[in-house]
Amino acid sequence: MENTPHILVVDDDLEIRRLLGKYLDGQGFRVSLAGSRAECEAKLAELKIDLVVLDVMLPDGSGLDLCRSLRERRPQLSMILLTALKEDVDRIIGLEFGADDYLGKPFNPRELAARIRAVLRRGRSEPAAPGTERRFVFANYVADVESRSLTAPDGTTVDLTGGEFELLMVFLQRPGRILSRDSLLDLTQGRTADPFDRSIDILVSRLRRKLGDASVFHLLKTIRNKGYQLAVPVERGH
């Protein structure tokens, strides 16, 4: 039971909370429910939560503001935003604030369960398989596969979300290769992009910022009309 992922559903609609709670429980998750920002904070202080399903509209504050606050205070906490179907601005801002994924309302609970599993899978530490690389060195950064950690040139740890680390690994395993947005989304999240999906662009922007590459693009280059490229040499180690 302790190894079962614990999901916190935060939504001010009681019927939606109960529906999602019942469905996710049936999918093998442990589930807690909260109807407000205050209840969410109380649950997080009391319980060990692995992932938060967070509605952007809450009665006592913005879910977007809560998302940003949680990302700053709990960098390893996974979050999926629930937004109104047409509120693209909320989705983009949510990703910029640190959400791992988003889902537009109305949605099929089966899709939410699939997104939860994908996000948890990206954030889970797994031992490297025998014979595979355990560390990557690039531009004096060191990425450790087993601990899923990134060490900066000055020796400090760079806090990356599960999605950011997964994206970094995709680039490190394919240095110099131009990767399209569609291929990056498929490699990191196992799904195809719709024409308005900007999640990869936001994720790249966040990764650049944490690598100190946000204005110069020496590490992650944008290749016009093609995608992105890791433009520095990579050393692999075991």
Residue extents of the structural domains in the chain: 6-123, 135-237
List % helix, strand, coil for the chain (3-state, nearest 5).
Answer: 40, 25, 40
Coil, helix or strand for 88? helix
> Which one-letter amino acid corresponds to residue 13?
D
DSSP secondary structure code for residue 208 in this structure: H
* CATH superfamily of domain region 6-123: Response regulator (3.40.50.2300)
The dotted CATH code for 135-237 is 1.10.10.10
- 28: tokens are 């093998």
What string of pLDDT tens digits covers the 238 residues of the chain? 568 999 999 999 999 999 999 999 999 999 999 999 999 999 999 999 999 999 998 999 899 899 989 988 888 899 999 987 556 666 677 777 888 888 888 889 999 999 899 888 876 644 444 446 689 999 999 999 888 899 999 999 998 887 888 899 999 999 999 998 888 887 876 665 555 567 788 888 889 999 988 777 789 999 988 999 999 999 988 6
The answer to whether the CB of 37 falls within 8 A of the CB of 60 is yes
How far apart, in whole angstroms, are the C-alpha atoms of residue 115 and residue 207? 21
For residue 9, the number of C-alpha atoms closer than 13 Å in the C-beta half-sphere is 24
Farthest CA pair distance, the chain: 52
Q: What is the CA radius of gyration of the chain?
A: 18
Which residue carries 């997080």 as its tokens?
44
